[in-house]
Chain A
Amino acid sequence: MTNPEQAMNENTTLLTSLTGFATRVNEHERVPRLIKGWNPTVVVEALDTGAIVSVVVRDSKVERVVEGAQEDSHSITVQGDEELLTQIFEGVTNPAEAVLEGGLAVFGTAQDQTKLDALTLVLWGI
């Protein structure tokens, strides 16, 4: 069982990781073309700690990263343990391999899944 203080810390870890991811996305010169016309909210849920962070993509960039699940008509849910999620959004782990292993679940259309995969390829080449 995770106490609230731990949860806060762990949430901060995921939030920090995704904030770093957002900065990298917004600073990368090739990413805007990749996500042009693609405006989802990616809800990232850590199954072990309960931390939830939403990444809102608008107009070819990450508009904001916020704690909690944001409602959106076009949303993608990404689930896994917090350590794995952090590794993925920091470019340490190949998400395709994580999905194959069953550690990561991505709920969205096939096109959404390919776009997310493309982001990791362009950012880190993994």
Chain B
Amino acid sequence: MSSPPKRSAFEMAFYISVCAGMAMGTSSFLIVAGAFEALSAGFVLLAIVAAMTFCVLISSPIAEMAAMFPSSPGVRTYVRQAYGDRVSLFVVFLYLLFVVVAAGAEAYMFGYVVRAIVPQIGMWVAALALIALVAGVNWLGVTPSRRTQILTTAILSLGVLAFGGGALVSGVTSASAPAAATLSTGEQLAALPTVMGICVFLFIGFEWVTPLGFGPDAYARKIPLAMPAGIGLNGLLYLVFVAGIAQVMSPAEISATPAPQLPLARKLLGDAGLGAALALCVFATTSTFNAGVMGGARLVYALARERRLPAWCAYFHAERGVPRGAIALLAALCAVSTAIIIAWDVQLAAACLASTLICTVYAALMASARKLRQTQAKRRRSFRARFGETPMLVLAILVFGLGLASIGAEPRQTLEVAAATAACGLAAVALARWSLGLSGKSGKAAPAKASPAEDSATT
């Protein structure tokens, strides 16, 4: 049965807002600043277009797997169906590590912006208050409605567009010389893959829409279309923002701060612009952070329900339908990650690490899509990607390569990022092994036993 046009448009708007809103965080501006360290504006624009194209291509096989396993917990199911439990758990733990690292970078940026505008509020206070607020709101089961999600993304998009577009038409120009122009075209071309790698960070999270289909029909057209539409919308906004900021500020000025939107706002609107920048930051961070914590919590809860994590991770408040154990775990891990990033001031390195982790996960998803074309060729798919197995393999290799390249995006901390990447890989292997041992047998849930979740239903 087809849905009425009005409901259908609302549904599509919701999916696009999830894809776009999830990726548009305050740390996105940190990536823009990082990109200007190595490249001039033209090359930064090129890197964004290339990363956007990659993400659009990647979204298609993901949509195909979502159509095969609608409403499933995404990456866990897809990789498990393709490569079995062990590999799937490894990838899922990489994914969760990515969430924790990206959340830490986002909380850092939130703290940085708040401190820059309201110096009385310390960075630690702002960042940790953000985590406590988002965790508390989720703990109580207060979830934004679908309409709110659409509205928030619309406001956020208009805000970024206003900053970028305003800069383009403002007539304000940079006084200082563009630092990256001192690099030759050849040097910038050599740095391009690295910057493309971290620019993938600008679009991450588009795949979080896959378990959110309103009904089975959503997986045939709407979700497969919403992902590239959301990526395209974000791409357009970033392109306008980068073109605008490059008009008003030099690459040296942009890369001198992790939050280049602040000096931009001041140049365009004076002190009043800082208020607008703060509002933009609050919208961007709370929506991204909330979606990240909640999405990650659902994944932790699903793992705990299949006895791949301790039972307390499946503790939930039954009346409110809230997975409290998973929320508490993720909030605690995000707080630790934030503390490390603030203490060592490694925000750009954290973003590079997050890019590397998510590119690895995307590579695993591409490989899984290819494998499922071979092993489950006859399984019903309401959507099928328009390219074959070889392009999927090529995409897997390329996106993995981009992930490796983004390790070097922060030249001052390349070794540290490489070490952190290796540590995350080893941690994911260890967690997968430990997790497999929890249920006692591979591939099946352990026999039922009393769970804290059941207790919670009675309290």
CB within 8 Å for A33 and B72 given contacts A110-B298, A125-B448 = no
The answer to whether B72 and A105 touch across the interface, beta carbons within 8 angstroms, is yes
CB distance from B295 to the nearest CB of A (A): 9
How far is A97 from B77 in the complex, measured between Cα atoms in Å?
Answer: 10
Would you give the shortest CB distance from B363 to chain A, in whole angstroms?
A: 22
Quick one: closest A residue to B141, CB to CB? A111
- In chain B, residues 262-305, which have Cβ atoms closer than 8 Å to a Cβ of chain A? 294, 298, 301-302, 305
Contact A100 B457 (CB under 8 A): no
- Chain A residues 17 to 72 lying within 8 A of chain B, measured CB to CB, are 30, 33-34, 36-38
Give the segment of A8-16, A82-90, A116-124 that binds chain B: A116-124
In the complex, the answer to whether B450 meets A125 with C-beta atoms within 8 Å is yes
In the complex, what distance in Å separates the CA atom of A102 from the CA atom of B318? 24
Which of B210-218, B334-342, B424-432 has 4 or more CB atoms under 8 Å from chain A? B210-218
**Interface SS of B by simple majority:** loop
A126 contacts B318, CB within 8 Å? no
Chain B residues within an 8 Å CB radius of A105: 69-72, 216
A111 touches B321 (CB 8 A): yes
Which single residue of chain A is at the shortest CB-CB distance from B451?
Answer: A121
With A102-B68, A118-B321 known to touch, is A97 a contact of B306 (CB < 8 Å)? yes
The interface residues of chain B lying within 8 Å CB-to-CB of A106 are: 71
**Closest beta carbon of chain A to B380's beta carbon, Å:** 9
B451 and A125 form a contact (CB under 8 A): yes
Query: Are the C-beta atoms of A118 and B216 separated by less than 8 Å?
Result: no
Q: Tell me the complex Cα distance, A33–B449, Å.
A: 22
Chain B residues with CB under 8 A of A34: 318-319, 457
**Is B454 at the interface (CB under 8 A from chain A)?**
yes
A117 to B319, CA, bound (A): 12
Within 8 Å of chain A (Cβ to Cβ): is B128?
Answer: no
Q: Bound complex: CA of A30 vs CA of B448, how far in Å?
A: 19
Q: Are B322 and A100 in contact (CB under 8 A)?
A: no
Q: Is the CB of A118 within 8 A of B316?
A: yes
Given A102-B68, A111-B321, A115-B321, A97 contacting B444 (CB threshold 8 A): yes
Q: Are A122 and B214 in contact (CB under 8 A)?
A: no
Q: Contact partner of A114 among B76, B323, B448, CB < 8 A?
A: B323
Q: How far is the CB of B216 from chain A (nearest CB, A)?
A: 6
**A-side binding surface: helix, strand, loop or mixed?**
helix
Q: Is the CB of A107 within 8 A of B214?
A: yes
B188: Cβ under 8 A from any A Cβ: no
What are the residues of chain B within 8 A of A97 when measuring CB–CB? Answer: 305-306, 444-445
Cβ contacts under 8 Å, B80 to chain A? 100
User: Contact: A102 with B72, CB < 8 Å?
Assistant: yes
> Does B321 contact A126, Cβ atoms closer than 8 Å?
no
B69 contacts across to A, CB distance below 8 A: 102, 105
Q: How far is the CA of A96 from the CA of B305 in the complex (A)?
A: 6
Q: Which residue of A lies closest to B458 (CB)?
A: A30
Question: Which residues of chain B are near A117, meaning CB under 8 Å?
Answer: 305
- Say whether B448 contacts A122, CB under 8 Å: no
Residue with the highest number of chain B CB atoms closer than 10 Å, among A37, A94, A99, A112: A99
* Smallest Cβ-Cβ distance to B380: which chain A residue: A47
Whether B81 lies near A125 (C-beta < 8 A) is no
B319 is contacted by which of A36, A94, A107, A124 (Cβ under 8 Å)?
A36
Instruction: Report the minimal beta-carbon distance from A103 to chain B, rounded to whole angstroms.
Output: 9
Give the docked Cα–Cα distance between A94 and B314 (Å).
Answer: 14
Measured CA separation A33–B321 after assembly (Å)? 12
A47 to B68, CA, bound (A): 14
A77 at the interface (CB under 8 A from B): yes
CA–CA, A115 to B301, complex, Å?
13
Determine if B213 and A125 form an interchain contact, defined as CB atoms under 8 angstroms apart.
Answer: no
- Given the known A-B contacts A33-B319, A99-B71, are A126 and B448 also in contact in the complex, defined by CB atoms under 8 Å? yes
Contact of A122 (CB < 8 Å), options: B143, B305, B318, B323: B318
A122 to B72, Cβ gap below 8 A? no
Q: Is the CB of A107 within 8 A of B457?
A: no
CA distance A118 to B323 in the complex (A): 10
Residues of B within 8 A of A101 (CB): 77
Partner of A96, one of B68, B81, B306: B306
- B70 contact set on A, CB distance < 8 A: 105, 107
Q: A107 touching B216 by the CB < 8 A rule?
A: yes
CB distance from B135 to the nearest CB of A (A): 16
Which residues from A are CB-within-8-Å of B305? 94, 96-97, 117
Using Cβ atoms and an 8 Å threshold, which residues of chain B touch A99?
Answer: 71-73, 77, 302
Max chain B Cβ within 10 angstroms of own Cβ: one of A77, A110, A125 = A110
- Can you list, as one digit per residue, whether each of B318-338 has a CB less than 8 Å from chain A (1) or not (0)? 111111000000000000000
Which residues of B have CB within 8 Å of A94? 305-306, 445, 448
Contact A125 B306 (CB under 8 A): no
**A interface residues, Cβ below 8 angstroms from B:** 30, 33-34, 36-38, 77, 79, 94, 96-97, 99-102, 105-107, 109-115, 117-118, 121-122, 124-126
8 residue pairs from A and B, CB less than 8 Å apart: A37-B319, A94-B448, A97-B444, A100-B302, A105-B71, A107-B214, A118-B316, A126-B448
4 nearest interchain CB pairs? Answer: A111-B321, A96-B305, A102-B69, A114-B321
